[in-house]
């Protein structure tokens, strides 16, 4: 059974339009491996921190890209 944090990560991905491919690329994992982690089939050490930090990095990039330039 997946840990609670995986549901939080998936929810944030959905809310921010971030795909599994984008997150896997940011982390440096294969998409299928990320899927196995998020579905509770793999539990690598530090996965929660790794996924959450990468996700926040992607969200920050999106926020920066959507911020209008102010002269």
Tens digits of per-residue pLDDT, 2-48? 789 999 999 999 999 999 999 999 999 999 999 999 999 999 999 99
Is 71 within a domain?
no
* Number of structural domains the chain divides into: 1
| Domain containing residue 27: CATH number | 1.10.260
| Interval 49-69: pLDDT, tens | 999 999 999 999 887 766 655
Tell me how far CA of residue 52 lies from CA of 11, 45, 67, 69, in angstroms.
12, 13, 22, 28
Cβ proximity of 51 and 59 under 8 Å: no
Give, as one character, the DSSP assignment of residue 69: P
Which domain, by its residues, includes 14?
4-66
Question: For residues 63 and 52, what is the distance between their CA atoms, to the nearest angstrom?
Answer: 16
Q: What is the pTM of this model?
A: 0.85
Cβ proximity of 59 and 18 under 8 Å: yes
Question: For residues 32 and 3, what is the distance between their CA atoms, to the nearest angstrom?
Answer: 18
């Amino acid at each position: 059974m997946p840990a609670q944090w995986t549901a939080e990560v998936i929810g944030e991905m959905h809310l921010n339009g971030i795909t599994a491919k984008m997150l896997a690329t940011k982390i440096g994992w294969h998409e299928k491996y990320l899927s196995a982690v998020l579905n509770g089939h793999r539990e690598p050490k530090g996965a929660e921190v790794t996924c959450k930090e990468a996700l926040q990095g992607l969200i920050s990039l999106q926020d920066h890209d959507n911020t209008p330039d102010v002269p």
